[in-house]
Structure 1
Amino acid sequence: MEDKLIEGLAYALPALVTGGVAYFIFSGFLKQSENDKKFAALVEKKKESLPIKLQAYERMLLFCERLNPAKLLVRVKPISTEANDYLQLLLANIEQEFEHNMVQQIYISDTSWTTIIAAKAAIINKLKNVSENSKNAQELRENVLIEYSNTVPPTETAVEFIKSEVKKLL
């Protein structure tokens, strides 16, 4: 009887070991297959979202270019001779451009968005400071151009940062 039991174990033990090995191999294979599917889905998602992200970066780069004081002053002409009226027109134009592009923050990095906001704030502050010493709209335009002929506008810094972010995406 003991011989039959030992003989049965001798046949069952290799079968159990083989079954256990097969189970671990197949479970590993299934996990790898599942991971491959997840990775493929992630790659596809990134491939689909890349054009949207690039478009958002393009729009924010355009916003920075339009915010550049030299280009802003050429595009927005004074409607009166008063410096304060012209300042309000410039600020309204900046805010309108910003509101038009605000939704892009969803698609760009937080650091890019912060850089763009900082550039906008710096431009607005500089325009306000320069307007305090300007007697009329024409003098405001000239003083702003003089101020930015000596320094690099904050929008240039933001543009360079955006370009570096896009390079990381590609």
Structure 2
Amino acid sequence: MTSFSGYLPYAFALIIAIPFLVLLRQFVHAYIKLKNQEINLLSVKSNSENKTHSYERMTLFLERIKPSNLILRFDKNLAAHEFIFLTEKTINEEFEYNSSQQLYLTKNSWKNIVDSKNAVIDLLHTTYESFNNSPELDEFKTVFIMNYMNGEDYIAVTIEDLRREILIIA
């Protein structure tokens, strides 16, 4: 029995330490669980912010390619074909710059944006081709705007679709 009495202080310390170790383990487990939830919440928030930013950037792109905004760009002394070349180049460059935004948009929204961009470029060319000779720039711009106004306002429709989608996301 003397040999057991030598272990008694250790057994007593172990009996007192076990509840503290269990509580410490529960505390650490709860802390890790809360930190994981915080990380998940931050990643969801970040993803939502990326989506919102993408919708904003693509709406800005669509606003910039509206014919009423396009005709204000570039020097007034350009020939109509030079204006078309520079406008198409600018539209394509800005589109390429924003093309990574498709990761955060729905397929339908991205398709509508691409279709709107292509429709504006097509309208530039068909308007130019409608003239028998090389038009003056002011005359070309007037007919270009009139052709857009007489057709479907596909840019406004696309922006409205983006607006509806962002309300669903937010």
TM-score by length of 1: 0.70
2:72 aligned counterpart, secondary structure: helix
Give the Å deviation of 1:43: 4.8
- The answer to whether the aligner puts 1:147 opposite 2:129 as a matched pair is no
Aligned length: 135
Larger deviation, residues 59-68 vs 131-140: 131-140
Give the Å deviation of 1:75: 2.8
- What residue ranges of structure 1 are gaps of 5+ in the alignment? 1-33
1:33-55 alpha-carbon deviations (Å, 9 max, x no partner): x9xx9988655432221111100
- What residue ranges of structure 2 are gaps of 5+ in the alignment? 1-32
Give the Å deviation of 1:71: 0.9
Match of 1:107 in 2: 104
- The answer to whether the aligner puts 1:66 opposite 2:64 as a matched pair is yes
State how far apart, in whole Å, the 2-side matches of 1:164 and 1:150 are: 25
1:95-151 alpha-carbon deviations (Å, 9 max, x no partner): 121112111111211111111001111111111100112423222111111112323
Give the Å deviation of 1:83: 1.9
Compared with structure 1, are the counterparts of its residues 87 and 103 closer, same or farther at alpha carbon in structure 2 (3 Å cutoff)? same
2:76–2:137: 8 Å Cα contact kept in structure 1?
yes
Question: Which amino acid in 2 is paired with 1:125?
Answer: D
2:105 aligned counterpart, secondary structure: coil
Match of 1:159 in 2: 159
TM-score by length of 2: 0.70
Compared with structure 1, are the counterparts of its residues 78 and 110 closer, same or farther at alpha carbon in structure 2 (3 Å cutoff)? farther
1:74 aligned counterpart, secondary structure: coil
Larger deviation, residues 54-63 vs 83-92: 83-92
State how far apart, in whole Å, the 2-side matches of 1:145 and 1:90 are: 14
2:112–2:158: 8 Å Cα contact kept in structure 1?
yes
Give the Å deviation of 1:168: 0.9
More helix by share: 1
Question: Which amino acid in 2 is paired with 1:66?
Answer: R
Question: Which amino acid in 1 is paired with 2:155?
Answer: T
**Paired residue for 2:115, among 112, 115, 118?**
118
